[in-house]
């Protein structure tokens, strides 16, 4: 049982993505005690699943490495993975939080040598690749995972595979007897940075995400570019593995739609503009992108990026919300139907692959753990006095890009620090 | 606001949009359209419209009164509701189309020979007579809408269907002579008359 690791001068950060890591580090580097909990087996969150991020098109692994070094170097920061907040009681300066710890079945002895995974035959969907590929049921979540420790999936527990993995371990790192635990800690303030999840594209019935192989989501497309991703870094369409040289992007797939998500998800325009550069990166002049949009919302300084993409003759812009998609049964090409707004021309355009720029929604409902927290119509945490010292950060508070998520996390961290300073008497 | 500001605002004030908002059923929704085009793309009759719904909304906002009200487009709507279901802003597009058609008709500037309009008139006259639709009279009236010779031709073509319906008790030939009225037809007339008075007063139509 994990013991008392915190006091009411501790800050709890919920969620180990870019926002949570930032908030935790900022507070810990200011000399506060921080507990960071993450429900997945590794820190990193959605940013670790990106190939590149805009506007500079650098690889997130770089920023991830810097943050991990900061985390490893900081004694005031404790990280719990496979940990979920079940319930929050109390008020500012005096919260009692119960945290559910799921078993990893692998202890601190693990050196990530991988001998256990080699002997196991069971396979499961790889969530890091959004289920586009399979992986061994005993696994390291991804190459840069932190902590660098293998995980044994619940599904192999009690099967011969689990015993094989245990026998293969030279470091006595596998403990098949691990059970779910609950720990209760005291904290003074909470930063809620549980992030976002992609909107379920299958709910957008006319686009046929659940029916057509060659309709994918923007997050899946992102994984295709990763050299360690499901297609080994090549843009190959799912139906036949053909190179996807003629790609359609549909904006507002779920966002700005009262039937789905009411809000503008803000990042998807930039995401598709960025992904159109992937098509050019892979196929040069042979790669064609067509972006179907209502309005392009490339916010403030990243308007430059939009202008650059707009100047590329290989990228076409069609001002129209696509009405529906059909599939050519023989070639599995997708055909997009609609009417454009600039002249009201009816189109039936054929593409190799269609990417739905899916919207962001909050990954969890904060109210399941802390019932009184105020959320907006889309479920994002709003700044409100009734929240006490529970502060929303990053995509738990709004649909944000990485840049803005980090700003929001730093702001939330500062608010939490102020609460702790009052508790400790450092600030009146 | 300064006088100059007011003058500029006045210049851009669109009287037709206001007219639509005041007089057309669900008219106030027109300003909510964000021109995404999903309605036009989803309409099964889309290729046959002169102006798809998205364009009609833009024309209203651009003040193109005659082009809109004299258009055949909104009469093409078959009430499939595809547009309403898909509209990201939940505009009641089907109802707005019918509202526009009805408004143009009331103003007397709807296209006179539009078949949908003629059928709608026939249906209204039929149902108002006895408070209930006399189906036989309605279909016979529809056959003879384009002249006597045409009516005989259409009637003969439909004869086998008619006989089939007669045999299964689905059609009463005596309906041609009248009958089939509801009990309180007179009361229905009074109610509709009152409702029309109220509507005319509200929308400024001559009664």
- Domain range enclosing B42: 10-107
* Mean pLDDT value of segment B107-116: 93
Residue A158, SS3? Answer: coil
- Note whether B78 and B123 are same-domain residues: no
- Note whether B119 and B97 are same-domain residues: no
Q: What is the pLDDT of residue B5?
A: 83
| Alpha carbon separation from A407 to A18, A111, A400, A414, B199 (Å, rounded) | 11, 35, 10, 11, 57
Say if B55 is an interface residue toward chain A (CB within 8 Å). yes
- Domain range enclosing A145: 115-168
- Note whether A281 and A155 are same-domain residues: no
Say if B35 is an interface residue toward chain A (CB within 8 Å). yes
Annotate A23-38 with three-state secondary structure.
Answer: HHHHHHHCCCEEEEEC
Q: What is the pLDDT of residue B207?
A: 57
Does residue A33 belong to any structural domain of this protein? yes
| Cross-chain CB nearest to A320 (options B37, B86, B89) | B37
Q: What is the DSSP string of A332-351?
A: --EEEEEE-TTT--EEEEEE
- Note whether A163 and A185 are same-domain residues: no
pLDDT (tens digit per residue) in B151-206 = 899 889 999 998 999 899 888 888 787 777 888 889 999 999 999 999 888 877 77
Q: Exposed/middle/buried for B146, CB within 10 Å: 0-12, 13-18, 19+?
A: middle
CB pairs under 8 A between A and B: 63
In 3D, which of A287, A181, A267, A173 has the Cα closest to residue A225?
A287
| Alpha carbon separation from A113 to A30, A121, A165, A232, B55 (Å, rounded) | 36, 17, 12, 22, 63
- Note whether B139 and B196 are same-domain residues: yes
- Note whether A215 and A283 are same-domain residues: yes
- What pTM value is reported for the model? 0.91
Say if A231 is an interface residue toward chain B (CB within 8 Å). no
Cα dihedral B31, B32, B34, B36 sign: negative
Average pLDDT value for chain B: 90
- Note whether A15 and A51 are same-domain residues: yes
Between CA A389 and CA A229 the distance in angstroms is: 40
* Mean pLDDT value of segment B67-77: 95
Residue B13 has pLDDT above 70, yes or no: no
- Note whether A140 and A48 are same-domain residues: no
Does residue A417 belong to any structural domain of this protein? yes
Question: What is the ipTM for the molecules in this complex?
Answer: 0.87
Please report where in the chains the tokens 């994918």 appear, as a residue: A216
Q: What is the pLDDT of residue A300?
A: 67
**At B136, is the pLDDT very low, low, confident or very high (cuts 50, 70, 90)?**
confident
Count of domains observed in chain A = 3
Mutation target among B37, B49, B50 for the A interface, most CBs of A within 10 A:
B37
Does residue B195 belong to any structural domain of this protein? yes
Mean pLDDT by 10 residues, chain A (428 residues): 70 98 98 97 96 91 94 96 97 96 97 96 96 96 95 96 96 96 96 98 97 98 95 96 97 96 95 96 96 90 89 97 97 97 94 98 96 95 96 97 96 97 86
| Cross-chain CB nearest to A344 (options B36, B40, B90) | B40
Query: Which residues in chain B are closer than 8 Å to A340, comparing Cβ atoms?
Result: 37
The rounded percent of chain B whose pLDDT value lies above 90 is: 62
The helix/strand count (H/E) of chain B reads as 11, 0
Q: What is the pLDDT of residue A1?
A: 39
């Amino acid at each position: 049982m994990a013991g008392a690791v915190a006091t009411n001068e501790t800050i709890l950060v919920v969620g180990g993505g870019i926002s949570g890591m930032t908030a935790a580090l900022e507070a810990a580097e200011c000399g506060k005690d921080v507990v960071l909990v993450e429900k997945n087996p590794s820190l990193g969150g959605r940013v670790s699943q990106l190939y590149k991020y805009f506007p500079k098109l650098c690889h997130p692994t770089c920023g991830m490495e810097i943050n991990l070094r900061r985390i490893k170097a900081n004694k005031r920061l404790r990280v719990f993975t496979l940990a979920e907040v079940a319930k929050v009681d109390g008020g500012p300066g005096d919260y009692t939080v119960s945290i559910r710890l799921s078993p990893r079945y692998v202890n601190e002895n693990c050196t990530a040598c991988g001998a256990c995974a080699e002997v196991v035959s069971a396979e499961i969907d790889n969530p890091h690749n959004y289920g586009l590929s399979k992986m061994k049921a005993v696994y390291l979540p991804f190459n840069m995972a932190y902590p660098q420790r293998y995980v044994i999936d619940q599904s192999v527990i009690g099967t011969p595979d689990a015993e094989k993995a245990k026998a293969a371990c030279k470091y006595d790192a596998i403990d098949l007897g691990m059970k779910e635990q609950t720990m209760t800690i005291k904290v003074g303030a909470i930063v809620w940075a549980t992030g976002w999840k992609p909107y379920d594209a299958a709910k957008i019935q006319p686009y046929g995400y659940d029916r057509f192989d060659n309709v994918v989501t923007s997050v899946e497309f992102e994984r295709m570019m990763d050299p360690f991703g499901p297609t080994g870094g090549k843009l190959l369409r799912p139906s036949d593995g053909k190179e996807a040289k003629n790609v359609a992007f549909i904006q507002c797939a779920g966002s700005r739609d009262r039937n789905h998500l009411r809000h503008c998800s803000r990042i998807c325009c930039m995401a598709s503009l960025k992904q159109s550069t992937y098509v050019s990166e892979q196929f040069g002049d042979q790669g064609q992108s067509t972006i179907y949009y209502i309005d392009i919302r490339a916010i403030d300084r990243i308007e430059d990026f939009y202008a650059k993409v707009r100047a590329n003759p290989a990228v076409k812009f069609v001002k129209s919300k696509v009405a529906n998609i059909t599939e050519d049964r023989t070639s599995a090409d997708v055909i997009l139907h609609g009417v454009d707004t600039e002249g009201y021309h009816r189109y039936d355009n054929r593409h190799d692959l269609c990417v739905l720029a899916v919207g962001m929604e909050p990954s969890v409902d904060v109210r399941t753990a802390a019932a009184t927290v105020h959320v907006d119509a889309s479920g994002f945490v709003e700044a409100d006095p009734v929240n006490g010292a529970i502060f929303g950060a990053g995509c738990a508070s709004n649909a944000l890009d990485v840049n803005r998520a980090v700003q929001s996390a730093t702001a939330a961290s500062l608010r939490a620090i102020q609460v702790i300073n009052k508790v400790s008497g450092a600030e009146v | 606001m300064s006088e100059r500001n007011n003058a500029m605002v006045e210049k851009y004030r669109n009287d037709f949009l206001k007219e639509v908002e005041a007089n057309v059923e669900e008219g106030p929704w027109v300003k909510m359209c964000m021109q995404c085009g999903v309605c036009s793309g989803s309409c099964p009759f889309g290729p046959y419209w002169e102006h798809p719904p998205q364009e009609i909304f833009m024309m209203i906002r651009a003040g193109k009164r005659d082009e809109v009200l004299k258009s055949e487009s909104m009469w093409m709507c078959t009430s499939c509701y595809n547009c309403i279901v898909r509209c990201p802003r939940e505009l009641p597009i089907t109802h707005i189309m019918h509202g526009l058609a009805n408004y143009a008709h009331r103003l007397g500037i709807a296209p006179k020979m539009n078949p949908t309009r003629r059928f709608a008139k026939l249906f209204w006259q039929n149902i108002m007579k006895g408070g209930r639709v006399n189906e036989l009279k309605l279909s016979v009236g529809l056959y003879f809408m384009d002249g006597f010779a045409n009516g005989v031709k259409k009637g003969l073509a439909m004869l086998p269907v008619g006989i089939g319906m007669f045999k299964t008790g689905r059609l009463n030939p005596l309906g041609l002579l009248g009958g089939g009225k509801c009990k309180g037809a007179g009361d229905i007339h009074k109610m509709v008359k009152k409702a029309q008075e109220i509507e005319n007063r509200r929308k400024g139509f001559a009664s």
